[in-house]
Amino acid sequence: MEGLLERTRRPEQRARYEAELQLPRMPVEVAYVWAMFWRLRNRVRNVNTHQPITWDDIYKYRDLVMAHIGPFEIELIELLDDLFLKAQAEAKNEEGGD
């Protein structure tokens, strides 16, 4: 990330990189859940809206990739999804959307 920051010339991109560098690093112990969340999240979009990840989505993903997804992982995926949907709704409201 530091290399990208050094090479960028656009102020808005520089600000984005600087903000990302201020965030705490992802704990390695939960990085696999973050990856699962984004794989699931990228498959439940509906044209112009974001739908929640369902338990059925999680179970199908688990069966497809033969992953062990226990109660902790499910709870964390749900929490991440709730935060994502909340952020999307807030961004839409700020843009003056419906």
Q: Is the dihedral of CA 50, 52, 54, 60 positive or negative?
A: positive
Using the 8-state DSSP alphabet, how is residue 50 labeled?
A: E
User: What pLDDT is attached to residue 53?
Assistant: 95
Helices (H) and strands (E) in the chain, counts: 5, 2
Tens digit of pLDDT for each residue in 52-89? 999 999 999 999 999 999 999 999 999 999 999 999 88
Q: How many domains does the chain have?
A: 1
| Domain span at 68 | 27-94
Has residue 3 been placed in a domain? no
Has residue 48 been placed in a domain? yes
Tens digit of pLDDT for each residue in 29-43? 999 999 999 999 998
Strands 45-46 and 49-50: antiparallel
Has residue 83 been placed in a domain? yes
pTM: 0.72
How is residue 89 written in tokens? 């709704």
How is residue 50 written in tokens? 């974001």
Has residue 7 been placed in a domain? no
Has residue 17 been placed in a domain? no
Helix (H) or strand (E) holding 36: helix 31-41
